[in-house]
Structure 1
Amino acid sequence: MVVAIDFGTTYSSWACSMRHEYEENPTKIYVRQWIGGEHFSPKVPTTVLIRPDGKTLEAFGYEAEDRYADLVEEGKHKCWYYFEKFKMKIFNNKVRIIPM
C-alpha cells in the first residue's frame, strides 16, 4: 500500500492505493471524503481538539470544530486544548542542538 498525507496549513487530507491496483491503473486511488455539517470534501480543516489531560486526541477536522463549538456553548471548553491552522507554528528559525 502507498499512502500520501497532505498536512496543510489550512486543510489536510490523505489518499492511498494498493500496489496491485496501482500496477493495473496508477490513477486508481482512494481519497478520504470528510463530512462536516454541509461540507463534503476530500480535505478537512487542520484542526485538533485535545482532551483536558493535554495528551489525548479527542477529534480532528470538522469533528474537532463541531465538538469544540458544543463545549463552548455548554461553557465546558476552558480546560480543553483547541488548535487550528497551526502547521506553520511548528517551524522555528532557530536551530536547536540537543546533546546525546
Structure 2
Amino acid sequence: MAARKSSSVKSKSSKLVVAAIEIGTTFSGYAFAFKHDVETDPPKINVIPAWIAGGQRISLETPTVLLLDPEQNFEAFGFDAENKYAELAADDEHEGYFYFRRFKMKLYNSTVSVHFQR
C-alpha cells in the first residue's frame, strides 16, 4: 500500500471552522472541519461518532425531529426531542409543546427566516 502524500493547503479565509448540516426527511447529521486541520491535513473532517439514545449508541444520524416549548423556543432536536416529548407525554405535561417530525418536505419551496443572537 502506497503511503499517503501529505499536502498543505493555506486557507485565505479568516473563519475558524467550516460546518455542514444535512437535514434529511427521516434522519439528519452534521460534519465540520477546523481551519488548522484543513491547512495541515485536508481530508480531516469531523462527524459525530454516534448519537446516543436510551444510553446506547444508535446511529451516525439522528431523527429529524424538532421540539419547541409552549413559547415556541427551541427545546430539543433528534433523539433528545423524542425522549423529552415522550417524558412530557408520560407525565401528561406535553400540552402546548410543538413536536415536528419528518418536516423537511414542508420546508421545500418555503422561506425561512433565522435570527441569531450573540
Amino acid at match of 2:77: F
Q: List aligned pairs for 1:1-100, cutoff 5 A.
A: 1-32=17-48, 33-37=50-54, 38-53=56-71, 55-92=72-109
TM-score by length of 1: 0.81
SS at match of 1:13: strand
SS at match of 2:93: coil
In 1: Cα distance, 2:46 partner to 2:36 partner: 14
TM-score by length of 2: 0.70
Amino acid at match of 1:85: R
* Identity over aligned pairs, percent: 42
Amino acid at match of 2:105: M
Supply the RMSD in Å over aligned alpha carbons: 1.7
Q: Which runs of 4+ in 1 moved over 4 A?
A: none
In 2: Cα distance, 1:61 partner to 1:72 partner: 17
* Larger RCO, structure (CA 8 Å, separation 6 or more): 1
**In the TM superposition, what is the alpha-carbon distance from 1:92 to its structure 2 partner?**
4.1
List gaps (5 residues or longer) in structure 2.
1-16, 111-118
SS at match of 1:12: strand
**In the TM superposition, what is the alpha-carbon distance from 1:26 to its structure 2 partner?**
2.3
State the structure with more CA Rg. 2
